[in-house]
Chain A
Amino acid sequence: MSGAANGRITSSAALIRTAVNPDCDLVAAIALEQESEPEIYRQIVGRKYEGEYGIRPSLVRRGAKFEINNHANDAMPLRKRIAEAFGYAGPEDVLVRDLDKEEPVSGHVHIGNLRRFRKTQKIVLNAYRRKADIPDLVIHPTLELPLLKAPDGQPLIRGSRYLNPDFMVLHRALGVYLIGDEKSFIVRDDTVVEPGKLDQVRRQIASGTLAMRHELQSIDRSAPIISDGLLIFASPYGLSASKMVQENLAGEIRQIENAIPQLQRVAVTLATLRAQGLHQLAAMAPHLNTQLRESCYGRCIMVQHCEQLPQNAAAALGSDVQKLLGGKTPGEIAALAATAGLLPRRETALLEGIKQAAHVLGIDIATYLQEVA
């Protein structure tokens, strides 16, 4: 289970979590409340979370070192990869600005982010207007996703309204920036060695790209709608960056877009519950819908809790079982089998499927249903 050292998740992580399971109010609520996940677990479940939580130190260290390496010497490794990917003469042909250095975020995080955001806006605007000396590479830009605001203008995700992609690269022909992410996970043979990380990175870039779309739209309603993003991982050899890959992420962007209304809905629900006198997320949790899925495992700290809930009993066996039972319990299926006379088509098909399966398992349907019901 990955989460920051303080247990909180960033706004892009919040978007991603909600995007992966848009039917679960609880995961959206955790993202919105920005409380420590292990602490929320403890409050809701009543005991300390015992499983593994948080990024391993080796990963944190590797990620930091990877970034330092890539940004060293005016981001020479990144510039090299950009030059290769975009067919420039060489890394010297790639102009870079590092907003980390220009506006280091320390002290008041919001003010720091705001300054970076303003600078990023200016760079994006100037690029779109084809001004001179536009950087090809901008490290740690900051963008805002306006949809992440509640109706009262406050940020939906408490204390966090900005997105901070790793970098953005100018598409010279279009005059717009593509969002990029650099991750120290190893890639071999076009496969990211750590499973589940590639989709996470794609969604992360998608969040940033969505924010960039909004920025461009605010400049010019007819600005191109970008869907491409840039990914850099590590090669199997040391900490060197592998080649930069450009991908179309329209599918992922749509997923992120769908997460936003869910966050907004849940924010309204939380506000309603607060109005009723419930202030702690733990107290609100029983009033929130949960949706257990196979994708929750390895992603969400609450999975152990959710799988015990009666409403998730069927889901706790997986999607294939849910499909086999067609939303019914084994007991209901057994009752159907015992029914004399014609059954509706759906129930007939369900029973037939189970009967076939039982036959393959070498057990007659009556015995099977008796055992499972």
Chain B
Amino acid sequence: MKGVVAAARLLAKARQSAVRVVGSYDIRHDPEETFAIVPMRVVGEEIIQAVGYGRLGAPPQVVVEHHALSRRTAFLIPFANALDEYLTRAVDLDFPRIYIANAPALELLTVMAARYENAGRNLNPNPALRPSHEVVRLGYLCRLIKDIYHMPGQQIVVVMTEAIRRHFVTGQIPPKDGHLGALTEWLAAVAGATGTQARADLRALHFPAAAMLSREDDEAVESILHKIKKSKSALTRQRLQADIEHLQAESVLAEWSMLQEAHAAFWGRDLDASVHPDITKQNTSWLKYRLEVVVARSRRAIAMSQRYEMHEYHAGLHKSALIAQDSMRFEHERVDGNAFRARISAVRKTPRGVQPKDHQIDLTVDHQPNIRLRLGHRVQIVGGELVGEVRMVKRTPVGYDATLSVLAGIDSAAIGGPHRWADQVPGKPFTQKYYDKIKSVLGMS
């Protein structure tokens, strides 16, 4: 994959336009209603000072706290309520889609989760600084967002910079791809354009696009805060406060606008649609349950093991769905040696009534420079039911001959092809009952 990305980068530079490296989106098209979050932090403190939120394509709602270090959180209540309402509505209608501009914004939500979710338990001695239950709930929702983000193949949380980079490659050095504005410049440019890099650099120069105010605005806010502290006039303080809020809101709007532009450019590239009904359904039902029932953050072995198994299963499902629908992705896997094309040249079924069963098929595998085909490896026809375990593999002048013991789908096996083959999709995770039994045996709650 690295070689392909590198080649694409050269091509993108030549064309002065981002080049796609896959044929289809790995996320479904947006549901009817999306929700974007554009937070601004105080650098180093990782405290939110402003946040824009709402539907992409419309102006955002913006809430601000001019003096974020005061630790006042009441200004977040409208945002908290809006997010909660959106998620509750979306899980019933179709599925939710949350857009976040970049990694620093996601990180900020993660810190918020850590801070506010526990605030209900660790009470601040100053009642005025205790977050309201809406803000505590906001912390919980942010934690759910982060948890979903880590699920392989998940369809709900989209970090825009990452989504773009999964599908397209720009003609600039990779560290510059972290800036959403610069990235969008490349994505939006048409092949044959000129000056794309210069425009991208200019955007990066003037706006940080990292969930923070520009340096200039940041210093202006600091200066105004200082004036507020010194001012003896309530009216003056009010006016100065409004100045800060204006700067904060402008920053939010600028990043919101950048996110909208990136969103349009991303979907405007018109890759093939992706189909992931199973994963979307699972993500949505997972979230729906947790919206209704507050599930504590568990970091213990059983909960984490169950989660890991679910991740493993989703990763396999997602990957197999992607390579089934997208020939370019299949080629990526093939070049890396994780997939291959082969014809079935023989089928040997164990006769009915004979035990043990050992159905076998022979494959004639097309040549490719890299191939990870080895004894005991389990492979599956892409998008199909036939699964086999490699029993023999040997090189031939034109590729490989292999024999598989069929583990599933023998009825679908027939001489012919070529078919596309890849790693077996992992099975569904262990059921809950085993973990419940373990807990009961070990006397765990």
Interface residues of A (CB under 8 A from B): 50-52, 56-59, 62-63, 184-186, 188, 193-195, 236-237, 294, 297-298, 304, 307, 316-318, 320-321, 323-325, 330, 352-354, 356-363, 368, 371-372
Contacts and interface: CB of A to CB of B under 8 A. Distances in A.
A360 B215 contact: no
Residue from A52, A184, A297, A357 whose CB has the most chain B CB atoms within 10 Å: A357
B43 A59 contact: yes
Nearest to A373: B14
A24 to B, nearest CB: 16
Contacts of A237: 115, 122
Contacts of A362: 328
Interface of B: 2-11, 13-15, 19, 21, 42-46, 103, 107, 110-111, 114-115, 122, 171-176, 201, 205, 208, 214-215, 218-219, 222, 328, 331-332, 335, 369
Contacts of B15: 371
B175 A297 contact: yes
A332 to B, nearest CB: 13
Contacts of B14: 371-372
A58 to B, nearest CB: 5
A363 B331 CA distance: 13
DSSP majority for the B interface? helix
A292 to B, nearest CB: 8
A371 B332 contact: no
B369 A352 contact: yes
A371 B107 CA distance: 39
Contacts of B103: 195
B114 A236 contact: yes
Given A58-B45, A184-B44, A321-B9, A361 B122 contact: no
A298 B175 contact: yes
Given A294-B175, A356-B369, A360-B328, A324 B3 contact: yes
Contact of B8 (A294, A307, A330, A361): A361
B329 to A, nearest CB: 9
Contacts of A236: 46, 111, 114-115
Residue from B3, B14, B44, B332 whose CB has the most chain A CB atoms within 10 Å: B44
B222 A321 contact: no
A360 B335 contact: yes
Nearest 9 interchain pairs by C-beta: A357-B7, A297-B175, A59-B44, A324-B6, A320-B6, A236-B114, A360-B331, A56-B43, A62-B44
Contacts of B107: 193
Nearest to B110: A188
Given A57-B222, A317-B9, A360-B328, 14 more contacts: A52-B208, A58-B42, A58-B44, A59-B44, A195-B103, A317-B172, A320-B6, A321-B6, A324-B6, A356-B369, A357-B8, A361-B19, A361-B328, A371-B11
Nearest to B115: A236
Contacts of B173: 294, 297, 307, 316-318
A4 to B, nearest CB: 16
A184 B172 CA distance: 33
7 contacts: A56-B218, A62-B44, A62-B45, A317-B171, A356-B3, A358-B7, A361-B11
Given A188-B111, A317-B13, A51 B176 contact: no
Residue from A185, A236, A325 whose CB has the most chain B CB atoms within 10 Å: A236
Nearest to A184: B44
Residue from A59, A297, A353, A361 whose CB has the most chain B CB atoms within 10 Å: A361
Given A362-B328, A372-B10, A58 B111 contact: no
B68 to A, nearest CB: 9
Residue from B2, B122, B214 whose CB has the most chain A CB atoms within 10 Å: B2
A294 B174 contact: yes
Nearest to A51: B205
A360 B332 contact: yes
A323 B331 CA distance: 21
Residue from B2, B7, B21, B173 whose CB has the most chain A CB atoms within 10 Å: B7
A225 B377 CA distance: 48
A52 B110 CA distance: 26
B10 A317 contact: yes
Contacts of A195: 103
Contacts of B46: 186, 193, 236
A66 to B, nearest CB: 9
A321 B122 CA distance: 51
A195 to B, nearest CB: 8
B222 A354 contact: no
Nearest to B214: A52
A267 to B, nearest CB: 30
Contact of A50 (B6, B205, B219): B205
A356 B214 CA distance: 43
B42 A357 contact: no
A52 B8 CA distance: 30
Nearest to B68: A58
Contacts of B219: 57
A47 to B, nearest CB: 12
Contact of B6 (A186, A323, A363): A323
B237 to A, nearest CB: 20
Given A56-B218, A297-B176, A361-B8, A320 B2 contact: yes
A51 B2 CA distance: 31
Residue from A57, A188, A304, A358 whose CB has the most chain B CB atoms within 10 Å: A57
A320 B9 contact: yes
Nearest to A54: B215
B57 to A, nearest CB: 31
B242 to A, nearest CB: 21
A195 B328 CA distance: 33
A57 B218 contact: yes
Contacts of A298: 175
